[in-house]
Structure 1
Amino acid sequence: MNKVITIGMAEIAYSELSQPLRTSGLGSCVGVIIYQEGSNHAGMAHIMLPSASISTKKVHKIGKFADVAIPELTSELVRRGASTYRLKAKIAGGAQMFASSGNEMMRVGERNVVAVKEQLNQLNISLVAEDTGGTNGRTILFDPKTQALTIRTVHLGTKVI
């Protein structure tokens, strides 16, 4: 098996030679995998927040916000030879890690999932599978050769989508 590429929080990475992509620590964060079926083109982003508009900083990691990371991930895959119309996506994460008590700002996981889906829809990328919500963190591993996304959820075990 090829060496696994690990993606940190707010990062984006690409698989060049069918290397698996992995990220951990997905609580309210969302792992987004965009890939082209039948090719080696795949990338992953570890998204922390829905929109860069909430940031007061001018500079941030490219994968931090859904509205920045997903267009960047898509553009780079196309630059590397992927066909826009053949791109697909899988997502995982977006858990509710803290009691919200009706506070909308505490519902970060849910807001992240909504923002990710909006970006994928705007870019006409089909979301073919997801494992989102709940209250437990996740670690995910995407295999570009099989397009299988293995999800290990704390206290709940492992599944493949």
Structure 2
Amino acid sequence: MMEIIKVGMADLNVTTYPNALTTLGLGSCVGVCIYDTKTKAIGMIHIMLPYSWGVKNNTNPAKFADTGIPLLIEKMEELGVAKKNMVAKLAGGAQMFEVTRSEFMNIGKRNVEAAKKVLQDLGISIVAEDTGGNYGRTIIFYSEDGRLEIKTIGKGTKTI
């Protein structure tokens, strides 16, 4: 019996087959989904910000790409997953508000770039993504086959 486990904002979770993970309302936030092709273990993190630099007493590493993604990988390894078998899918990173000319204010784009850099530094391939745009996403990540279902208001549902 499949259970769909919720991942909150600035939160992460891991599970194994036959379960799925879901997170709601990804705007500028990014859902980073990790799948192990051998064990069918999955992990998901809902990151809000790219980097934790300058944040004193960071009590929630899952809030940031640079601290949260390594923690997610660690949790996957605790399930017996080898890093060499992990692949990633990304969703979110939208520009939800009109931004002045400052790229710094485009948090969505910066979140996507940071997630990609951290995954690259960890040696994990990104096999699919649905990022950018100016609309929110709700995602469901299935352990059965690593498919990521992306639901958007006004744009329907797609699977990557």
Query: Does TM-score exceed 0.5, indicating one fold?
Result: yes
Bigger mean CA deviation after superposition, 108-117 or 36-45: 36-45
Structure 1 counterpart of 2:11: 11
Taking the aligned partners of 1:32 and 1:129, their CA distance within structure 2 comes to 11
Helix, strand or coil: the match of 2:90? strand
CA displacement at 1:76 relative to structure 2: 1.5
Structure 1 counterpart of 2:22: 22
Number of equivalenced pairs: 160
Taking the aligned partners of 2:71 and 2:136, their CA distance within structure 1 comes to 25
Taking the aligned partners of 2:97 and 2:84, their CA distance within structure 1 comes to 38
Structure 2 counterpart of 1:86: 85
Alpha-carbon displacement from aligned partner over 1:55-79 (angstroms, at most 9, x marks no partner): 3x41332310000111111112112
Report the TM-score when normalising by structure 1.
0.95
Structure 2 counterpart of 1:160: 159
Taking the aligned partners of 2:91 and 2:23, their CA distance within structure 1 comes to 10
Taking the aligned partners of 2:54 and 2:27, their CA distance within structure 1 comes to 20
Helix, strand or coil: the match of 1:75? helix
Taking the aligned partners of 1:74 and 1:62, their CA distance within structure 2 comes to 13
CA displacement at 1:16 relative to structure 2: 3.2
Taking the aligned partners of 1:115 and 1:28, their CA distance within structure 2 comes to 13
- Give ranges in structure 2 of 5+ residues lacking alignment: none
Amino acid at match of 1:43: G
Taking the aligned partners of 1:9 and 1:54, their CA distance within structure 2 comes to 21
Helix, strand or coil: the match of 2:139? strand
Taking the aligned partners of 2:43 and 2:124, their CA distance within structure 1 comes to 13
How do residues 7-156 of structure 1 correspond to structure 2 at under 5 angstroms? 7-55=7-55, 57-156=56-155
Amino acid at match of 1:82: V
Report the TM-score when normalising by structure 2.
0.95
Amino acid at match of 2:113: V
Taking the aligned partners of 2:66 and 2:158, their CA distance within structure 1 comes to 28
Taking the aligned partners of 1:127 and 1:105, their CA distance within structure 2 comes to 24
Q: Is the 8 A contact 1:26 1:93 kept in 2?
A: yes
Amino acid at match of 1:24: L
Taking the aligned partners of 2:94 and 2:54, their CA distance within structure 1 comes to 20
Amino acid at match of 1:78: E
Taking the aligned partners of 2:39 and 2:118, their CA distance within structure 1 comes to 23
